[in-house]
Structure 1
Amino acid sequence: MSAWKALALLAGLAASAPVPAATAQPTAAAPETTATLPTAEQILAVPPALQALLQQRVIAPGASREQRLQRLLQLIFDEQGMHLEYDPYATNTLTETWQTGRANCLSFTLLFVTLARAAGIDARVQEVAQVVSWHQDQGVIYSVGHVNAGIVLNGRDAVVDLDRNVLYDRYGPRPIPAQRALAHFYNNRGAASMAAGDTGQARAYLQQALALAPDLVAGWSNLGVLETRLGNLAQARQDYLTALQLHPRHAASLTNASALFRRLGDTAQAAQLARRLEQVQRSDPFVQFQLGNQAEQRHDYARAIHYYQRAVRLYDSAHQFHFGLARAYFLAGENRRASLEMTRARDLAGDNADVLKARYQAKLGSLQRWRQRSAAAN
């Protein structure tokens, strides 16, 4: 994915790195290095200069937790503070985030939660199983994992997310313990090391991730990818089966396990897993929406409508899905249906999404004016 979230690197790498064909030879690995991994304390250590800024700009002025929250966000994002920028590849320690001014969603969440707690704000790391994100309006990104921060202010829950253009799955964010959050960090680093060809570092990071969270499905899936690349097919098979025992519908593991069984000559098992993957994808509204967007980009509006309709049936309350369907209807010349879906998208945007509702209303007005001009011309 071009801008995956923190966790999407993990399973996303597994999904995009299928097992080689049966005739292929194992990928030649770079010499394994002696890995030195950052400890949990090193990952979460607040640099002295940042600690001083936190005390000066957030804690010392006092006032309510809500005001401290606003000052903390200003410290992180303003030009006079850290001026933090989003970088999907930046799985950084807090010190590295401070030094570079760059973070992905995981790095940002670890930074924010650590600083918020130091400022007396009740904050926690949260995990989302699946998300869809939008960048530059038409850039649709499907991710199998995401993290953000949950906070409690005046007895009410709220979410602080580095990516504002994100749609969560039906289950939404779920709090996770610090140990699992750190497992995601090591898992991300392991996937990045594997992509860089450092198999020794990759193995050390992935094993540490699984030591902290033995049920981390993406970790087992990525370990299977690593073993496959090194030609350790029996171990890769076991890793994928472990992942699928933990999560039988995990798409990345199904993809890679099916390819591996095909390579091993077990075509029956490969076909069974491929059928399960197809069933998973047909029942996943995010996959259907992604397929609709791809069809739309090909100007195949009939197929786009088909996939968007499936996404809407599977997840009717997602205003983004209705907007995609409205756009496909409009491009296909079905203006009345486009208007109905645009209205539905606007109504689902929510009372607190004033900017988004205004955007939908403006698009709806433009569509209605276009219909009126077309009717007058005829």
Structure 2
Amino acid sequence: MKFLATITPRLAAVLLVPLLLSACAAVQLPAPMPSTELFADAKFKPASEPVGAAGLFDLSPAMRQYVHSPAFAAHVRSKGAQHGLVDALYQKGELKLEYESSKTRTAAETFEARAGNCLSLVIMTAAFARELGLPVQYQNVMVEQTWSRSGNLYFGSNHVNLTLGEKLTEFLRTYQTSSTTLTIDFLRPKEAERFHTHPLEEQDIVAMYMNNRAAEALAQDRIDDAYWWAREAVRTNPRYITGYNTLAVIYQRRGDNALAERVFVTALQREPENTVVMHNMIQVLASLGKDGESKALKARLAAIEPFPPFYYFNQGIKAMEKADYELARTLFAKEVKRAPFYHEFHFWLAIAHWRLGEGKRAQDELKLAMDTSTTSSSTQRYSAKLSQLRSGATIRVRAH
């Protein structure tokens, strides 16, 4: 099992970006190893697509036409630039922008698709704000990391929001931090207000974008493309530790454990208790025959994080395989409690309820799985399962 810090699908109530553990650091960190010593260009084929952040915030002709349209101008006149922008983009009006987590898009791609994950929506909003001359401040919100998976890759995510300024609209579930600040956030106001924030530079957002593209390519087994995206993330922002972790996982997948170790060591020099990096490095050390170092790091990790992400879920799957549905229900419920916005946990809790003859509770959990899914394919799948359950048909499931 591999933990990869990157963007991951989640309920549209959260803006998802890679782990930013460095934002919590309170000590002077050593400078990272020169990035050229961590790259291995000769081991990878050229990328099959353009790699980089060129044009990330650029407005397409269609975007310029929209932002200078009479309808948009009316929004700005009646509500001001900040509220007018938010109103025009995110209320269910002519644009009908939707949350969709399958790909991290540029501003122009998000506008064209009328959909995007939260990082894409932040980038597009910033692009429009820039066109209107509005100041933008990105913020890392100090919430607990959330996790999901794709195959045997596990993805961790944190939360960012975007500050434009001025009073907030309830529609976007935003909250007022001052009389001149408008913070766009998809957490509920009472939840958002209690979390501390840390300012981010645009360079951080750019690195997140490229790291996300690397992770998405890796999930599709496009390892060469993943390498070039991760390389660019590290090169662009050498202090962005998540990029190092992704780069090392790519080396690990390519079978170059020695190089993966070098990158993990570099990351741990800056964040000695980064549990994501530690977990990945344990496997690399074992693969290199460094059993003593691997066991020592494993013990250290267990002291920091005794129940890692998906721990209860994996135990629950084992219980399901043994037909111990009561234990499975208990274990899945524990994962739901600590990750209430991850659809797969709700789905398997529904199956456990169904196996125990608890039809109503199974339907409720399946509905939550559908509501918290973030791709159209998963929503359709859960909707079909819910229809089967309501009709009394047999539900067939398998763990991935």
TM range (shorter): 0.5 to 0.7
1:153 aligns with 2:166: yes
Q: Distance in 2 between matches of 1:112 and 1:210?
A: 25
**Structure 1 segment 5-20 matched on structure 2, within 5 A:** 6-8=16-18
SS at match of 2:213: helix
Q: Distance in 2 between matches of 1:63 and 1:107?
A: 27
Per-residue CA deviations over 1:65-113 (Å, capped at 9, x if unaligned) read x643333223223443321111122200111101111111111111112
Q: Percent of counterpart pairs with the same letter?
A: 22
Task: Name the structure 2 match of 1:107.
Answer: 120
SS at match of 2:104: coil
SS at match of 2:292: helix
**Structure 1 segment 205-284 matched on structure 2, within 5 A:** 205-282=229-306
Task: Name the structure 2 match of 1:90.
Answer: 103
Task: Calculate the TM-score normalised by the size of structure 1.
Answer: 0.62
Letter in 1 for 2:228: A
- Higher relative contact order structure (alpha carbons within 8 Å, sequence separation ≥ 6): 2
- 1:173 deviates by 2.7
Letter in 1 for 2:111: W
Conserved 8 A contact 1:130-1:169: no
**Structure 1 segment 1-378 matched on structure 2, within 5 A:** 3=10, 6-8=16-18, 32-37=45-50, 39-56=52-69, 57-59=71-73, 62-63=76-77, 67-128=80-141, 130-131=143-144, 143-153=156-166, 155-156=178-179, 157-162=181-186, 164=188, 172-282=196-306
Q: Distance in 2 between matches of 1:305 and 1:45?
A: 44
Distance change (3 Å), C-alpha of 1:62 and 1:41: same
SS at match of 1:153: coil
Per-residue CA deviations over 1:99-138 (Å, capped at 9, x if unaligned) read 111111111111112212333433222223544679xxxx
Conserved 8 A contact 2:163-2:183: yes
Aligned length in residues: 285
SS at match of 2:136: strand
SS at match of 2:221: coil
- 1:162 deviates by 4.1
Letter in 2 for 1:48: P
- 1:262 deviates by 1.5
Q: Distance in 1 between matches of 2:202 and 2:271?
A: 22
Q: Which moves more between the two structures, 213-222 or 192-201?
A: 192-201
Q: Distance in 1 between matches of 2:20 and 2:253?
A: 16
Q: Distance in 2 between matches of 1:302 and 1:92?
A: 38
Q: Distance in 2 between matches of 1:201 and 1:214?
A: 20
Distance change (3 Å), C-alpha of 1:86 and 1:34: same
Letter in 1 for 2:282: S
More helix by share: 1
**How large is the Cα RMSD of the aligned pairs?**
4.2
Q: Distance in 1 between matches of 2:67 and 2:74?
A: 8
Task: Calculate the TM-score normalised by the size of structure 2.
Answer: 0.59
SS at match of 2:164: strand
Q: Which moves more between the two structures, 164-173 or 233-242?
A: 164-173
Letter in 2 for 1:269: E
Q: Distance in 2 between matches of 1:169 and 1:62?
A: 27
List alignment gaps of at least 5 residues for structure 2. 1-7, 22-42, 148-153, 168-177, 339-400
Q: Distance in 2 between matches of 1:78 and 1:302?
A: 39
Q: Distance in 2 between matches of 1:126 and 1:258?
A: 32
SS at match of 1:152: coil
Letter in 2 for 1:227: Y
Distance change (3 Å), C-alpha of 1:142 and 1:161: farther
Per-residue CA deviations over 1:328-353 (Å, capped at 9, x if unaligned) read xxxxxxxxxxxxxxxxxxxxxxxxxx
- 1:202 deviates by 1.2
Conserved 8 A contact 1:148-1:161: yes
- 1:266 deviates by 1.4
Determine which structure has more spread, i.e. the larger CA radius of gyration. 1
Conserved 8 A contact 1:94-1:110: yes
Per-residue CA deviations over 1:256-288 (Å, capped at 9, x if unaligned) read 10111112221221122212322332599xx69
Distance change (3 Å), C-alpha of 1:150 and 1:283: farther
Q: Distance in 1 between matches of 2:216 and 2:303?
A: 30
Conserved 8 A contact 1:124-1:175: yes
Q: Distance in 1 between matches of 2:334 and 2:224?
A: 46
- 1:168 deviates by 6.9
Letter in 1 for 2:230: L
Distance change (3 Å), C-alpha of 1:143 and 1:237: closer
